[in-house]
Homo-oligomer: A and B are copies of this chain.
């Protein structure tokens, strides 16, 4: 699952290789952290990650992260870190591509579980 040496990860290229929504694809590792990309549309589930912060960077589209005390809206080129333990619910009115960073093994639905729970998949 590791890219060949000395070949950069082109995010646009990687995004062109899949179309399923709310499915995180691992594109790189930094120590025990994973860099993941995903395509979102619609509303996810409220959840929290008890043990980790979670970074969202919007590549294209527009992402609203609902938090219990207000929303944050991310345009392309904007990032936001949801603090550990903070309940949040990602919502995208249009199809939105994001980059995520968090420790390897962090589940997409955090403490909530349910049918949308899915482990990140490698994307070579």
Chain A positions near chain B (C-beta within 8 angstroms): 5-12, 27-31, 33, 35, 52-55, 59, 67, 69-75, 77-81, 84, 101-103
Minimum Cβ distance to chain B for residue A78 (Å): 4
Return the chain B residue nearest A6 by Cβ: B72
Is the beta-carbon distance between B79 and A8 smaller than 8 angstroms?
yes
Minimum Cβ distance to chain B for residue A102 (Å): 7
Chain multiplicity (copies): 2
> CB-CB < 8 A to A67: which residues of B?
6
Interchain CA distance A106-B113 in the complex, whole Å: 35
Return the chain B residue nearest A102 by Cβ: B30
- Residue in B10, B77, B78, B101 whose beta carbon sits within 8 Å of that of A30 in the complex: B101
